[in-house]
Amino acid sequence: MERYDIAIIGTGPAGISAAITATIRNKNIVLLGSRNFSEKIEKAHLIENYPGLPDISGEDMADAFRKHLEHLNIEITEEKVKAVYNMGEYFAIQGADAIYESSAVIISTGVNFGRLLPGEKELLGHGVSYCATCDAPLYKNKTAIVVGYYSEAGKEAEFLAEIADRVYYLPAYKNGNDKLKGENIDIISGIPKEVTQCDDGKVKLVAGENEYMADGIFILRDRISPEQLMQELKLDGNHIAVDLQMRTSVEGCFACGDIAGKPYQYIKAAGQGNVAALSAVEYLNS
Ligand SMILES: Cc1cc2nc3c(=O)[nH]c(=O)nc-3n(C[C@H](O)[C@H](O)[C@H](O)COP(=O)(O)OP(=O)(O)OC[C@H]3O[C@@H](n4cnc5c(N)ncnc54)[C@H](O)[C@@H]3O)c2cc1C
């Protein structure tokens, strides 16, 4: 497997800026995220405070980013990262279907990951999982619940259903009346409220007035919180704790942009992306 110098997770202004600087510094990078960049760029009506680009719309800013990436031949790998594992010498980055390896990692995933369900954190690894593709083999002849907070989560439920006996899929997003492929998939309903463990080791999901029991539960969100992404990261409230060089508590791992704290601003995110990339380069060269 190819080992990249730097894996950059997130394609908002922070991740794009980090990718540009790391590429200019001749590092072999993989940029993981969305080819549409960030919904926070897409949705911005008018941006008035980005130097050199007065009164620019989010759409035009996205165009400018796209041209800059093309100019440097930087490609975006469409990927939703599920977890980052610190292997000592390198990092293993778990995507939906693939694993990437890198010597350093920059996390620029933005904020807005919603609240964890009560019981979710405590049961992580003990009945709660965030990656159906990764943990599906554990569910042969078993039952599983999948709570999907975005429509593509249905695909992970379908994959799980190829292995598990029965899958209960709860689409927890607007118009989530999906029909999934698989006779052993039941669509369930209710607003997810809590996850608990039963005496027999099964897990119970409370959703609205309903309760569902299974061997395990997969909770699939569009964005995941830093503690879900990498368990040993030191946090500062909801953000990843960083120093002024964007170093995190894990050697070789850097964070930048909204995920590294307020204020939430494009230019701050882009500036921190630049610092994170330079710090990663220094780390690799030391
Ligand atoms: C409507 C709106 C208007 C705004 N207007 C302004 C303004 O005028 N001026 C200003 O300075 N700021 C403004 N902001 C704030 C600005 O958008 C944010 O501060 C900025 O986008 C943060 O950049 P970021 O790169 O840290 O994160 P984001 O832009 O949030 O990008 C994060 C990226 O990471 C990706 N990602 C997340 N999780 C994963 C994962 N697990 N795997 C792979 N990729 C992942 C996301 O898909 C996204 O591409 C506005 C925000 C909004 C919502």
Domain boundary assignment for the chain = 3-113+224-285, 120-220
Contact 220, 156 (CB under 8 A): yes
From the alpha carbon of 16, which atom of ligand 1 is closest? 25
The predicted pLDDT at position 113 comes to 65
Write down the CATH superfamily of domain 120-220: FAD/NAD(P)-binding domain (3.50.50.60)
* Chain-centroid distance, C-alpha 96: 10
> Backbone phi, then psi, for 238, in 5-degree steps?
-90, -5
Contact 57, 46 (CB under 8 A): yes
From the alpha carbon of 37, which atom of ligand 1 is closest? 49
Distance 244 CA to ligand 1 centre (A): 20
* Chain-centroid distance, C-alpha 184: 28
Q: Mutate which of 31, 34, 38 to test ligand 1's pocket (most atoms within 8 Å of Cβ)?
A: 38
pLDDT by 10s per residue, the chain, length 286: 899 999 999 999 999 999 999 999 999 999 999 999 998 898 889 999 999 999 999 999 999 999 999 999 999 999 989 999 999 999 999 998 799 999 999 999 999 767 889 999 899 889 999 888 788 899 999 999 999 998 889 989 999 999 999 999 999 988 776 788 889 999 999 999 999 999 999 999 999 999 999 999 999 987 788 988 998 999 998 899 999 999 999 999 999 999 999 999 999 999 999 999 999 999 999 9
* Cα diameter, the chain: 62
CATH architecture of the domain 3-113+224-285 equals 3-Layer(bba) Sandwich (3.50)
Distance 224 CA to ligand 1 centre (A): 14
From the alpha carbon of 224, which atom of ligand 1 is closest? 41
Distance 188 CA to ligand 1 centre (A): 32
Q: Do 3-113+224-285 and 120-220 agree at the fold level?
A: yes
Helix (H/G/I), strand (E/B), else coil: 282: helix
Which burial class, exposed, middle or buried, applies to 238 when counting CB atoms under 10 A from its CB (0-12, 13-18, 19+)? middle
Query: How far, in Å, CA of 263 to CA of 273, rounded?
Result: 14
From the alpha carbon of 80, which atom of ligand 1 is closest? 42
Query: How far, in Å, CA of 65 to CA of 182, rounded?
Result: 41
User: Atom 8 in ligand 1: which residue has the minimum CA distance?
Assistant: 47
pTM comes to 0.85
| Residue ranges around ligand 1 (CB below 6 Å) | 9-15, 32-34, 37-38, 40, 43-44, 47, 49, 79-81, 108-110, 223-224, 257-258, 264-267, 269
